[in-house]
Structure 1
Amino acid sequence: MSVAETTKAPTAGTAKKPATVFVDGGSGTTGLGINERLKLQGDVAVKTIPDDKRKDPAAKKALMEEVDLVILCLPDDAAKETVALIDSMGTSGPKVLDASTAYRVAPDWAYGFPELTPDQAGKIKAAKKVSNPGCYPTGAIALLRPIVDAGLLQSDYPVTVNAVSGYSGGGKSMIASFEDGSAPSFELYGLGFEHKHLPEMQLYSNLTQRPIFVPSVGNYRQGMLVSIPLQLDTLPGKPTGADLQAALAKRYAGSTYVSAMPLQNDATKGGRIEPEALNDTNQLELYVFASDKHHQAVLVARLDNLGKGASGAAVQNMRLMLGLADQ
């Protein structure tokens, strides 16, 4: 579903006063994507602050007193400063959706992956503070959590997560290096074992053992694949690929944005998948590639790192937090 398909104006006769939103830090990739999507939201009004007042706490506080929700697209430290300002406003403060990594594992914040569990969307809707997920964890958690919950993967399994993203997820300097031709065509990174997405990946996948995470970036703008290899004979009950696919299908049955795709097994021709097919959408596709002959499987998530991995997820969470109908 494209950005245009997920956003539309209310029909005649149903119009009401729009909810008000302030995007703090709208010049980065995620902020720009959110603002583009918000232009298509007929039931949301966006309030802005003059450029010369962006770092003025008094001006920012005055604006936040006028809105229903603030979306933070800031570095972690700046996000913490703004959250402290909101907290100082007490009950008059707006709801806050934070796209940084500052609060993704904070116990008093709701995690903004509505499809995480059957009751997660309700938690987001009721929350005053929601952390927007990271792009890589969105794919990994979507694959791992259902099969851990189903008892098909033990929580202490030595999970390895491999992933590739387009360069748009790497910030302004990375984007510039790829677009001016100075970056390599492909590279692994995060090999210091301290990638900022690991804590949420472990926590919300219900893993007791820290996974090994190997991210990479390719010379294309956007689109992401997250893959997890599994030796099926080492899992509880030695499940088949069909068992894994069934667990994913059960968890996401009826989901608007997350799809468990048909099993890809020994009889399936091809065995390939590319990362860009879901660009400019809020969709997330989950695949099980399995070999009954070799008792092995690779779980794969495909998403747009700027869509369900960032801006699209933020707008989905925003609508839940504001009590607006899903579009």
Structure 2
Amino acid sequence: MSVGVFIDGAAGTTGLEIRERLASRGDVDLLLLPEDRRRDAAARRAALNDADVVILCLPDDAAREAVALVDNPRTRIIDASSAHRVADGWTYGFPELGFDVAGAMRVSNPGCYPTGFLALLAPLVRAGLVPADWPLVVHGTSGYSGGGKAMIAEFRDGGASAHRAYALGLRHKHVAEMTLRAGLAVAPIFLPSVANTYRGMILEVPLPWSRLRPDMPPSRIADALDAAFADCPLVRVSHDEVGFVRIEDDAGTDRMTLHAFADPVEGQVRLVATLDNLGKGAAGAAVQNLNIMAGLDPMAGLACQARSADPPPTL
């Protein structure tokens, strides 16, 4: 028996990516509105309430409005916006970190930057290797597809630089999510930027290990990450000795790769995560949560090897 899924916002970047992952599956029945009824309020309300699972790919305010339109106790919701990531009554959609997605009625997808940050830091905080009140710094660079249609058009028209730092006021909306979900007592300093590449993401967190844990070797970090993600096919901990890590290393996939580089002489550690901002950072995470909530194969529709790095066709 197939699961009825309605993607509200299916014409947006994340919606198209989700639809691409679901389109050929026999265990999912996509509920689609014809072009001339997409803005029909009655048709949209009906679709929201007819679906077994609704996936919201909308701006925050529109996502909240959509939730209010669901007036039955049966329909389950996955919200890919940032509207409910720290809200009461919503389950955080990061199953690898132990959140009970399977039994949830309302699931909030993690943000793309928080996904990498939390994968690196949450296991270390939980293991007592990084104090909850340590002043952390995280730098992240994303492909421009994370900025939506306007930013995509700007970069493709040649009107944008090769690399752009933003959120210079240090009040990015992901900070609250990072702080809460990592179990931190002090908000990290978040330094986001966007690069002139369509998709892909790289995050880095430096740790002065000799000050944090002078009694422990830096290898304890990799041990903690290994233990946290041992049975997680979409998260891999790399032990390879590499000379560089690229923003595109996991682009076009639904996986994430974690690295812990260390200088034991100076006692410094450089944590690095790579993922696809549209894969594990958005659409891939939504499909993974859908699979788990519906009791389907958790890996159905997901790719650990690269798909095309090009954007999916528009509707």
TM-score of the superposed pair, with normalisation by structure 2: 0.92
- How many angstroms does 1:238 deviate by? 4.4
Gaps of 5+ in 2: 300-315
For 2:86, the equivalent position in structure 1 comes to: 105
For 1:212, the equivalent position in structure 2 comes to: 189
Summarize deviations over 1:247-270 as a string: whole Å, max 9, x none.
0001001211111111x6xxx4x5
Alignment of 1:155-194 (within 5 A): 155-194=132-171
Does residue 273 (structure 1) correspond to residue 245 (structure 2)? The answer is yes
Aligned 8 A contact 1:152 1:239 in 2: no
Give the counterpart of 1:46 among 21, 30, 53. Answer: 30
- How many angstroms does 1:51 deviate by? 3.3
In structure 2, what residue type is equivalent to 1:252?
F
Aligned 8 A contact 1:166 1:222 in 2: yes
SS of 1:65's partner is helix
Give the counterpart of 2:218 among 235, 241, 246. Answer: 241
Give the counterpart of 2:286 among 285, 304, 314. Answer: 314
**Residue correspondences, number:** 299
For 2:10, the equivalent position in structure 1 comes to: 26
In structure 1, what residue type is equivalent to 2:28?
V
- How many angstroms does 1:241 deviate by? 2.1
Distance 1:237 1:148, change over 3 A: farther
For 2:97, the equivalent position in structure 1 comes to: 116
- How many angstroms does 1:237 deviate by? 4.9
Aligned 8 A contact 2:141 2:194 in 1: yes
Aligned equivalents of 2:125, 2:150: Cα separation in 1: 37
For 2:266, the equivalent position in structure 1 comes to: 294
Does residue 221 (structure 1) correspond to residue 198 (structure 2)? The answer is yes
Aligned equivalents of 1:222, 1:294: Cα separation in 2: 34
In structure 2, what residue type is equivalent to 1:60?
R
SS of 2:50's partner is coil
Aligned equivalents of 1:232, 1:116: Cα separation in 2: 23
In structure 1, what residue type is equivalent to 2:32?
T
Summarize deviations over 1:183-208 as a string: whole Å, max 9, x none.
01111111111111111111111111
For 2:127, the equivalent position in structure 1 comes to: 150
Percent identical pairs in the alignment equals 47
In structure 1, what residue type is equivalent to 2:255?
Q
Gaps of 5+ in 1: 1-16
Give the counterpart of 2:72 among 90, 108, 116. Answer: 90
Aligned equivalents of 2:210, 2:251: Cα separation in 1: 35
TM-score of the superposed pair, with normalisation by structure 1: 0.88
Does residue 260 (structure 1) correspond to residue 237 (structure 2)? The answer is yes
For 2:114, the equivalent position in structure 1 comes to: 137
Does residue 78 (structure 1) correspond to residue 62 (structure 2)? The answer is yes
Aligned equivalents of 2:52, 2:81: Cα separation in 1: 20
- How many angstroms does 1:239 deviate by? 3.3
Aligned equivalents of 2:106, 2:215: Cα separation in 1: 40
